[in-house]
Structure 1
Amino acid sequence: MSELLLELQSDEIPARMQARAIEDLSRLLGDALKAQGLEPESLEAFATPRRLAVAVKGLPDAQPDVEEERRGPRVDAPAQAIEGFLKSTGLTRSQLEERTEGKGTFLFARISRKGRPTLEVLPEIIPGVIRSFPWPKSMRWGEHSLSTDSLRWVRPLQSILCLFDGQVVPLEVEGVRSGNITRGHRFMAPSPFPVNNPEEYRTKLRVSKVILDIAERQRVIDTAARKLAETAGLELVEDPGLLAENAGLTEWPVPLMGQFDESFLKVPPEVIQLTMRANQKYFALRDPQTGKLANRFICVANVEASDGGKAIVAGNERVLVARLSDAKFFYETDLKTRLEDRLPKLADIVFHEKLGTLAAKVERVAGLARTLAAYVPNCDADLAERAARLAKADLVSGMVGEFPELQGVMGGYYAEAQGEPLQIAQAIREHYSPLGPNDACPTAPVSVAVALADKLDTLVGFFAVGEKPTGSKDPYALRRAALGVIRLILENNLRLPLLAALKAARAALNVADATDALDQVLLDFFADRLKVQQREAGVRHDLIDAVFSLGGEDDLVRLLARVSALSALLASEDGANLLAGYRRAANILRIEEKKDGCRYDGAVDSALFTQDEERALSEALVGARAEVDSLLRVEDFGSAMSVLARLRPLVDAFFDNVTVNAEEAAVRANRLNLLNALRAAVHTVADFARIEG
């Protein structure tokens, strides 16, 4: 078994593209090798800012020999057809076999093909891998840049290293010929050097100040940054995304600590952290005792400086001061204008061409927040309405114009600074939440009402104008909005009738298609999202279907309480057997109703009973139905399910001893009505027909 090493060196590969490039190179080369019968034992790809590489171990030295049998034309086929078959196989007529299959005798060719040496195959497949590489963004360059079939690469390709067991694999792509030469760090070890195998490649690169493995570069940054922070009595603000980005920007990462003037700490910490992160790729630090941001930062250099990094730190400090000065200016300027004075500008921003301006949305959300406040315990309707009215005002502030990621956050700071109640400031800050499954869900009453109102208005509005999600496309993040509504309701245990909330949101819309039919469409959409959300919690989607399909259930808290009780019932032996009995009853009814062309949903006549088992089941059903109805009214779903479970032995006895299709028509019809009564009793808690398995 042999080894293959391929390195593609270029100008800087953007950090955000490197992880995907590693996956794509592994996939493309692995598939190409496998298609040629050259399946390796292992394949490991790497990326740095200047190179994409892959080491393949356990490659066979040659393709496997192939034995192939191919059926040709009939023996009495025209000579031209036989001649064509001979030409395609490279055999003579005497080398073919004759064999009878079915109604004819056919010619068969047995072809033996010896596998080619791997070193011959590689030059044919590797250029194809390079040319078909799916960079998210790529470019052409040089004298062939105007040619439509010229190579597109993320940045100009500079060199190709390609070795198979120490031998150069001869290939050329866009004038770049392969060899055994690579280069180390651009500044600290730029001289070219040869390598013979993957292990030597790794070792020599490290000596030349290049850490090939991106995961190792992350560990180097994380360890050194934490040590710097600890030495200063501080702690690193966790940021996995920034850690990965810095690892993608450096081949030899060297974390360094800098500082800035404490006066900038008067600016909200989110602003400082975002300024450092977005513009400069710096890590923030904080005081472990107070949790407050410190006036220190960590930058990651790509070089070991002779002065220990003093000049690098000083340069980064100068740049950061300029950035923070801009942020401070935006913040202080924004504070001079009250949020309500910004509201007229929202009339100049189109929310959506079919849904009007942002100002119109704000009015709808404010009214809806007041309505929803009645369903949120301890929620002040006046505060909810005012918070909703001010929630979007920071969109026309200087700071949010510079950093859109801070919308809502800055509004909360500005509201607090202008003396608004803390509930309003908090609601403004949280009204976009939760943004995803890992985002904290608001729990403060005013925040919950405003967040619900904002999401429901968005959902109802876009559905009303025909902009609902299709397939994988969801440009307005409506699935996320629905999941946000579900989390707000469930995590705050809100007894919110969803249909009433949807009608209230619809009433504020001036859209022709905002009709009653829209409510059911949206309710179905919520049901689908609920199944997705609950699946992650281990709840079966069919049980949610079984409860939803009863109709009229739009209280998500109550619905999931039913689902939980149903799950517990089916996990018990009595419940599982009751389900089996239900299915048997439902199947008999379906068959007989189809055959007879009528429904057996009439009253059960006890005078027609001829066996104790049918009388016992009927009496038990009457008692159980009354008891279940009483328990459902007080939402004691567990007890209601237990009552139904007690029917199990009577159902078993009925099917064991009673013939449903009795010879006497009246008795048969009465027994079918009894089965329908069983089905109806079970359907008071869930539609068992929806339960799978």
Structure 2
Amino acid sequence: MPELLLELFSEEIPARLQRRAAEDLKKAVTNALVDSGLVYESAGAFATPRRLALTVTGLPAASPDTREERKGPKVGAPDKAVEGFLRGAGLGSIDEAKIQSDPKKGDFYVAVIEKKGAPAIEILKDILPKTVQSFPWGKPMRWGSGRLEWVRPLRAVTATFGPEGEEPEIVPFEIDGIATGNQTFGHRFLAPDAIKVRRFDDYVQALEKAKVVLDIDRRKDIIRADARQLAFAQGLELIEDEGLLEEVAGLVEWPVVMMGSFDEAFLSVPEEAIIATIRANQKCFCLRDAATGKLANRFILTSNLVAEDDGKTIVSGNERVIRARLSDAKFFYDTDLATPLADNLPKLENVVFHAKLGTQAERVARIEKLAAEIAPLVGADVTDARRAAQLSKADLPTGMVGEFPELQGLMGRYYALAQGEKPQVAAAIEDHYKPLGPSDRVPTDPVAIAVALADKLDILTGFWAIDEKPTGSKDPYALRRAALGVIRIITENDLRLALNAFVKNGDLLAFFHDRLKVSLRDAGARHDLVDAVISGDSDDILQIVSRVTALGTLLETDDGKALLAGYKRAVNIVVAEEKKDNTAYTGGVDAKALTAPEETELATAIDLARTAVDAKLAADDYAGAVSALAALRAPVDAFFEAVLVNDTDPAIRANRLNLLARLRDTMHLVADFGKVAG
């Protein structure tokens, strides 16, 4: 079957846009094909710095014929209704419509619209230019006198269509003065001449010969493998960086990997600062000594050229730039070290955190106060927590953080240690920002925990106070991340912390509940169990988590499943009878009115379970409380097998309904089983 090959050849497309652009191109074209009746077998999209390419295989030579019956107005309808029907159906007169009869609605007009299928190449001639002209670049540009908006100047369009074994046709259209053809171009420097192409397979092979690797993932594999091999040969290990690898693969069409070096004297600068400098300025990878694990004074660069001098000039140029950038980094580091962190605190008075929440200095004061309150609750020294909170933002005015904001906290730790602060204080300066995401670690030292919780609780309570809450997908202040950070710090450190002591806003507590539900569901917990154990005033995160776990364990057993079924049966009966009697059954059971042995046994079992549940909950043993409920399974089953609840004696009936209400209320001490599915 025929195949489409499309290439949009341009000046350099920014690396960060390439993968998304390729997918957008595939989606736009294939959706339009399907809408036009052209169903295909497969499609693939590719990107290099200078081209977007698309192949669609298994296309039919033409779209199928279609036949549609469009229902119109009743026979005898007003003229305007008939005229509208004729226009919509494309009919010249009502005589071209047929009449159908409906036993209930009478006679009405029906237009039979038949359309002949169109040649695929004619459909492509319409689809492809529209796709290009409406392409969703975030910030497109125009150039010269043209009207086309594209990410960078478009230079050529290749568009061919045809079956295997035949010379494909050029899909004829024009984009802003650029006519389609069957030619592409190789590497800008290594093979710049035009290349005639036919189908996708020979297109890929021709580009490969012209020093262009079309597939970005293959370019990534080449860079990764060659970098690891170069490193291994020198007794080094590559510091893996998937984000940088993606970017570098988007900067080259023919990746050539080389190794350079820098002066060992720069290794006195913290390795994170060196890595950030080399990564940001030269898009190069750093290396570690395989034996010691320490940062090596080597780096990996990726060139887009096969140099005649084996890359010596390219390596030398990169070394020269990196030397200059590392000199700047060393200057920043040495200058920052000479200034005690505490001396930076007055500078925070001139840094606005938020117009309605004050300066960074005011925020630090709030964090310090909160950290001092939290410290005894998490086993941290109050003085250390205060000091760490006081210095938590003190590295923001430093030169290094000004140059690389992503190093905030980390540089504060380095400076604090060098200036004689306690290790736990220094660690808290770095770790109070954590966790920054689901894969980031959480702080584990008590001082860091206190400051991290204080930092996040201050953000949340502050923005709730000024009514700046997340809405829909918008969360400009990362408040969801802050709440999830609090949850992870508490749960992963097994902390018992009552949030109500710090969260005075009911809406904010509900926000924590929502985030906790998301977190537990992501961890595999059943959403109904989460709903069952959370009440409006639940403020102990660890307790909620343990309750969900214990309840889930019970309901995985046969006893638990049977007990849940008995609970639901009991509640359904009570609810139905309360509605019928227009009264509420409150669980007050008259022991003397219990006539059947099964109801006596159930009443005794409920009393024993209630006593045990109360004792276990008082001892904060939720798992024990859940386990105590399991003993109800047998007497509940026996009761429903032998006892008729709606006895003819009104007093016996009411007593049995109260017994079931007492069962319900006892189980509700542990969780709202009414919210449990099953």
TM range (shorter): over 0.9
2:165 corresponding residue in structure 1? none
Partner residue of 1:564?
A: 549
Partner letter of residue 497 of structure 1? A
Q: Paired residue for 1:588? A: 573
CA displacement at 1:82 relative to structure 2: 5.5
Give the partner amino acid of 1:223.
A
TM-score relative to the length of structure 1: 0.94
2:589 to 604, 611, 616: 604
Residue in 2 aligned with 1:147? none
Distance 1:189 1:600, change over 3 A: same
Matching residue within 534, 547, 553 for 2:533? 547
Tell me the alpha carbon deviations over residues 365-391 of structure 1, each in whole angstroms, 9 at most, x when there is no partner.
1121121111223x2211111011001
Measured after TM superposition, the shift of residue 667 of structure 1 is: 2.7
Q: 1:36 to 1:369 in 2, by over 3 A?
A: same
Residues 161-182 of structure 1 show CA distances to partners (whole Å, capped at 9, x for unaligned) of 0001111000011111111111
Gaps of 5+ in 2: 163-167
Aligned to 1:9: 9
**Structure-2 change in CA distance of 1:368 and 1:82 (3 Å):** closer
Aligned counterpart in structure 2 of residue 688 of structure 1, from 670, 673, 677: 673
Q: Deviations over 1:276-312 (max 9, x none)?
A: 1111100000111221111111111001011111000
Give 1:592 deviation, angstroms: 2.8
Aligned residue number for residue 513 of structure 1: none
Tell me the equivalent position of 1:468. 469
Structure 2 distance, partners of 1:371, 1:95, is 85
**Counterpart residue identity of residue 541, structure 1:** H
Task: Give the partner amino acid of 1:480.
Answer: R
Distance 1:471 1:195 in 2: 48
How many angstroms apart in 1 are the aligned matches of 2:96 and 2:455? 79
Distance 1:73 1:462, change over 3 A: closer
Which moved further from structure 2: 87-96 or 572-581?
87-96
What's the secondary structure of 1:143's corresponding residue? coil
Question: Which SS does the other structure have where 2:44 is aligned?
Answer: strand
What SS is found at the alignment partner of 1:386?
A: helix
For 2:257 and 2:322, the matched residues in 1 are separated by: 16
What letter is aligned with 2:517? K
In structure 2, distance between residues paired with 1:80 and 1:583: 60
What code does the residue aligned with 1:478 have?
A: L
Sort the Cα spacing of 1:660 and 1:153 in 2 relative to 1 into closer, same or farther, 3 A: same
Query: What residue in structure 2 maps to residue 196 of structure 1?
Result: 198
Counterpart Cα distance in 1 of 2:50 and 2:673: 61
Match of 2:300 in 1: 298
For residues 427 and 78 of structure 1, what CA distance do their matches in structure 2 show?
Answer: 80
Query: Does the CA contact (< 8 Å) of 2:605 and 2:631 recur in 1?
Result: no
Cross-structure match for 1:347: 349
Return the TM-score normalized by structure 2. Answer: 0.96
* Alignment check: 8 A CA contact 2:463 2:469 kept: yes
Report matched runs for 1:149-228 at 5 Å.
Answer: 150-165=147-162, 166-228=168-230
Counterpart residue number, 1:19:
19
Counterpart of 1:51 in structure 2 is 51
Structure 2 residue matching 1:142: 3-state secondary structure: coil
Amino acid in the other structure paired with 1:227: Q
Query: Would the alpha carbon gap of residues 179 and 600 (structure 1) be closer, same or farther in structure 2, given more than 3 Å must change?
Result: same
Matches within 5 A, 1:51-450: 51-77=51-77, 88-90=89-91, 96-101=97-102, 102-144=104-146, 150-165=147-162, 166-377=168-379, 379-450=380-451
CA contact (8 A) 1:434 1:442 kept: yes
Cα distance per residue 1:561-592 (max 9 Å; x no partner):
22111101111111111111111222222233
The CA distance in 2 between the partners of 1:98 and 1:357, in whole Å, is: 77
Q: Which one-letter code corresponds to 2:525 in the other structure? A: V
Quick one: distance in 2 between partners of 1:480 and 1:328? 33
Tell me which amino acid in the other structure corresponds to 2:674: A
Q: Contact (CA 8 Å) 1:8, 1:52: kept in 2 or not?
A: yes
Supply the distance in 2 between the matched residues of 1:530 and 1:494 (Cα, whole angstroms): 15
Provide the identity percentage: 57
* CA-CA distance at 1:262 after TM superposition: 0.6
For 2:458, the aligned partner's letter is D
- Name the SS of the counterpart of 1:59 in structure 2: coil
SS at match of 1:285: strand
Residue 507 of structure 1 corresponds to none
Q: Is the 8 A contact 2:65 2:117 kept in 1?
A: yes
- Measured in 2, the distance between the counterparts of 1:158 and 1:484 equals 49
Distance 1:606 1:86 in 2: 81
- Of 287-296 and 214-223, the range deviating more from structure 2: 287-296
CA RMSD of aligned residues (A): 1.7
Q: Which residue of 2 aligns with 1:629?
A: 614
Deviation at 1:608, TM superposition (A): 2.0
Instruction: Tell me, in whole angstroms, the C-alpha distance in 2 between the residues paired with 1:686 and 1:114.
Output: 65
**Structure 1 residue identity aligned to 2:474:** K
Q: CA deviation at 1:90?
A: 4.7
Q: Take 1:85 and 1:638, find their aligned partners in 2: how far apart are those partners?
A: 70
Pairwise CA distance, 1:80: 7.4
Aligned AA for 1:626? Answer: T
Q: Which moved more, 1:93-102 or 1:130-139?
A: 93-102
**SS of equivalent to 2:58:** strand
Q: How many angstroms apart in 2 are the aligned matches of 1:27 and 1:638? A: 51
Report the CA distance shift for 1:112/1:91 in structure 2 as closer, same or farther (over 3 A).
Answer: farther
- Separation in 1 of the partners of 2:82 and 2:376? 86
Shift of 1:459: 1.0
Bigger CA drift: 604-613 or 244-253?
604-613
Task: State the SS of the aligned residue for 2:118.
Answer: coil
SS in 2 for 1:619: helix
Secondary structure of the equivalent of 2:321?
helix
After superposing the two structures, state which structure 1 stretch, 266-275 or 608-617, moved more.
608-617
SS in 2 for 1:306: coil
SS in 2 for 1:12: coil
Whichever residue aligns with residue 35 of structure 1, its letter is D
2:41 is aligned to 41
Cα deviation 1:127-161 (Å, max 9, x = unaligned): 111112111221112213xxxxx321111111110
**Contact map agreement 1:18 1:48 (CA 8 A) in 2:** yes
Out of 241-250 and 598-607, give the one that drifted further: 598-607
User: C-alpha separation between the residues in 2 aligned to 1:91 and 1:522?
Assistant: 65
**Corresponding letter in the other structure for 2:652:** V
Which amino acid is the alignment partner of residue 148 of structure 2? L
Q: Which deviates more from structure 2 when the two are superposed, residues 683-692 or residues 83-92?
A: 83-92
For 1:546, give the aligned amino acid.
A
CA–CA distance in structure 1, aligned partners of residues 83 and 391 of structure 2: 84
* C-alpha separation in 2, matches of 1:76 and 1:135: 53
2:207–2:213: 8 Å Cα contact kept in structure 1?
yes
Q: SS at the partner of 2:677? A: coil
Q: Residue 420 of structure 1: SS of its match in structure 2?
A: coil
